[in-house]
Structure 1
Amino acid sequence: MLFKRLIFFVALIVMLFAFTVPAHAEMEYRFSDKDTITKDFSWGQDDIIEAIDFELYAGYPDNTLSLNNNMTRAEFAAVLNRIVDAGGTPGPNWYDGAVDGLVKAGVIPDKSGDWDAPITRLEAAKWLGRLAKVYQVTVKDQGATFSDTSDPDAIYANKTGLMKGVSPGVLGADRNLLRGEAAVLLLRVAKSVDNNLPSDDELKQAMMEAIEDVNANIDHMRNTWKLDFGFYDSLPYKRVTQNYLEEDQRAMYAERNSGRTLSLLGIKEIKIAEKHNAIAVVVTKLYNKEKGYDVSPAVTRWKKINGRWMMTQGGVPDNRDLKYLGIKF
């Protein structure tokens, strides 16, 4: 009996160690100023990382996050529209369609003002309060309020938990909304809008197609051992994002001299761990198709992009994913 307990204990330790190995495709690592996540936004670092991994927050083309920069009104409108999929009629400016869609949805009151100007925390709170009403976000604290604004929409954003204060009960109404703060807000919105959920079957089908894209990328890498981001156009389903493919290739290429063998993956079972209108988390039990043994389950993050579910991040579970691994297969 003691021997059996010892074997179980050792197996448990090995399993827990495996579960805490960082996922190979955490997307924040590609940004040159990623240290600002913990340095300047420690209070919201977990949410910022999640927002990046869901591709709710994309950073700049020069691979910087610039979290301390102000978020403009146009930028905030654009990212909000991508979450709620409000559509809109395009115009001469890159943001016209997003603004038009949110105005028609009732999230933004009108199209007036300078859209290249920073958005204040008060205006952002007003938009989020209206969004909460339009998309039926659940009230979490009926008594929540702000001492520095009496605006009913801003206060409603607080009641639903979409906008919190810079300190208890203080919105910081006159301050500009920083991009790091906006990333946190975007994740809150994405995890709160649940009035048009995808079916489990839709997400499972997307996962089955994504694993074929992953296998195509694995096979291409082991045949060429070079970075080839243009290979995205050759994927059979394009159920992973371009960013995912690039980070996956970098991770495999970094181990080209490690002696590790790249093998194709098969799916044994798929479970939907979390789903909302625009984002989802899927846990998949995998096996090595070429050698037959089970491998670590994959926790994958998904975003609905232009009406299509796309895998944005995934791999070996890390500490934040432990809550999803209690799912029974």
Structure 2
Amino acid sequence: MKKIVSYIVVLCLALSLIQVAAVAEEISFADMPDNWATDALQKAANNGLLSGYDDGTIRPDNNLTRAEMAAIMVRAFGATQETDISAFSDVSADAWYYSDMAKSVQMGIFQGDGTNLNPDNNITREEAFTVLARAFELTDADGAVLDVFVDKADVSAWAVPTVAAIVENGYAQGADGYLNPGSNITRAEFAVLMDNLVKMYITEPGVYSHVEDGNILIRANDVTLSTLTVRGDLILGESITAKGVTLLSSSVEGRIVNNDSGDKIEFVTTGGIDNPGTNPGTNPGTNPGTNPGTNPGTNPGTNPGGDPDDGDNPGEATDPGIDDGGDI
């Protein structure tokens, strides 16, 4: 009887709240390009990853700094928890990115080199790949997958497993046979890379009866996925609490990422509340990698180019270098 009552309550909630994913308001920029990166840049802006600059530009070809990438990842995952980063001497407490760097270290995606986080350094492609592999909990891959690239020998030894993971999963393809691992990544390139990783963001509470094919990232609590199949990974934001997401007669074909506690999702079937553990785990070994460069690529191949400056920094990056000694 209790199971029947539970199901009826959930069903009523679904019927009263069912909605199609809200269409994000399209944000316009004076310098939005008309090329391979346009859709990805627009999507990144609409979902709050790129906020642009005070002069109304998005500057797609600007290089992305480590601090800017940290800010983007914090926004993407809705991270709120900070850790003490006072041990890092190059992050001023009054810097615009202080909170974002503290959150990104707490997330485990930036580690620094022990005394520095190098926030103003441009991030390279291999560094960016490493940050993303950690954030999305990708399993380290065999470096043999990189044999198809002319410049495979240019990938730093510490970055091989994470770069290989990004390539193996189809998130980056390089351009004209090159990965350009040591090149800086632009805002446009990073936007394209993120678009490859996340096909839909759910940022508002509600009941969703349709999602796009591909990986879905949820960063709001009180979200119900109703009678649907996630044809990719279901990625949970950092702020999702226990039972913050409900799968009502729904399933996940890929992994459930960032559900280490095992209680962020409640599974509800026609027979009542159940937890069948549809892809319950995330991949615990996301590639702890070391130097997470960014530069996802320049050619519209996979990481088509442009620097994803997250606009949190009203000014442009100053330090063009980002090699932090193999530690990201």
TM range (shorter): 0.3 to 0.5
- The structure with the larger Rg is 1
Give the TM-score normalised by structure 2. Answer: 0.46
Instruction: Report 1 or 2 for greater relative contact order, CA contacts < 8 Å, sequence distance ≥ 6.
Output: 2
Give the TM-score normalised by structure 1. Answer: 0.46
